C-alpha cells in the first residue's frame, strides 16, 4: 500500500505537518504568483485574468473580478462560479477545498479560513494541523470584514452582514450577521 504524502493528508482532512517541504515549496510558489498578480496595474485586466486562470482550481467564466490585493495559500483548492466579484484584501487560506457558487459578491477585507489548529499548545507547537472545506452557495453576498471559519457552508441566496464571524452553517435564503453569525431574518 502506498504511503500518503502530507499534501494527500491535508487534502483529505487528516492531520498533517505544516512544515512539510513539498507544502512549503508550493506555498512559496503561490506567494510568487500572488506577488505578480498584486503588482499588476489594475487596468491590466487580461493579464490579471490569465494569472487567476492559472492560479485557481476552477473559474466559471471570464466575468471574474478579484480586486488587488488578493491573498491565498495554494489557489488550486479554490473554485469560483460565474460572475464572481471580490473586493480589496480578499484572503483565502485554502488548505481544503473552497467552493464559491455563481453570482457571488465578496466585500472588502473578507477572509475564508480552512486551516485548523489544536487548542492544546503542545500539539499546536508540533506544527500539525488539519483542514475543513468551506462551501458558499449561488447568489451569496458577504459583507465587508466578514470571516468564514473552517467547515462552514453558506446556503444559496444568503446575505452575510459586514463584520460577521461565521462559525456554523447558514441556511439558504436568509440574512445573517453578528459574532457569532446568526440568522436575522428569512428572505
CA pair distance 60, 184, nearest whole angstrom? 31
Burial of 101 (0-12, 13-18, 19+ CB in 10 A): buried
| Residues tagged active-site | 117
What is the separation, in whole angstroms, between the first and last Cα of the chain?
51
Residue 1 lies in a domain: no
Residue 32 lies in a domain: yes
Burial of 46 (0-12, 13-18, 19+ CB in 10 A): exposed
The pLDDT assigned to 1 comes to 64
The pLDDT assigned to 61 comes to 81
The pLDDT assigned to 165 comes to 98
Residue 123 lies in a domain: yes
Residue 115 lies in a domain: yes
Q: Show the domain range for 13.
A: 6-186
The CATH number that applies at residue 116 is 2.160.10.10
Residue 68 lies in a domain: yes
The pLDDT assigned to 114 comes to 98
Residue 65 lies in a domain: yes
pTM: 0.95
Residue 92 lies in a domain: yes
Report the chain's C-alpha Rg in angstroms. 17
**Which parts of the chain have pLDDT scores under 70?**
1
Domain count, the chain: 1
The answer to whether 7 touches 27, Cβ cutoff 8 Å, is: no
Amino acid at each position: 500500500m502506498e504511503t500518503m504524502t502530507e499534501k494527500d493528508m491535508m487534502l483529505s482532512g487528516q492531520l498533517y505537518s505544516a512544515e512539510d517541504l513539498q507544502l512549503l515549496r508550493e506555498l512559496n510558489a503561490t506567494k510568487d504568483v500572488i506577488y505578480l498578480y498584486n503588482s499588476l496595474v489594475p487596468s491590466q485586466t487580461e493579464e490579471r485574468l490569465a494569472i487567476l486562470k492559472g492560479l485557481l482550481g476552477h473559474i466559471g467564466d471570464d466575468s471574474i473580478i478579484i480586486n488587488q490585493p488578493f491573498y491565498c495559500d495554494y489557489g488550486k483548492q479554490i473554485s469560483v462560479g460565474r460572475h464572481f466579484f471580490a473586493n480589496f484584501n480578499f484572503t483565502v487560506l485554502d488548505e481544503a477545498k473552497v467552493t464559491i457558487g455563481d453570482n457571488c459578491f465578496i466585500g472588502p477585507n473578507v477572509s475564508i479560513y480552512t486551516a485548523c489548529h489544536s487548542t492544546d499548545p503542545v500539539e499546536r507547537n508540533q506544527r500539525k494541523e488539519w483542514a475543513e472545506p468551506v462551501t458558499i452557495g449561488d447568489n451569496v453576498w458577504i459583507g465587508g470584514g466578514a470571516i468564514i471559519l473552517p467547515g462552514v457552508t453558506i446556503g444559496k441566496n444568503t446575505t452575510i452582514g459586514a463584520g460577521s464571524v461565521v462559525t456554523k452553517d447558514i441556511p439558504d435564503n436568509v440574512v445573517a450577521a453578528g459574532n457569532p453569525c446568526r440568522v436575522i431574518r428569512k428572505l
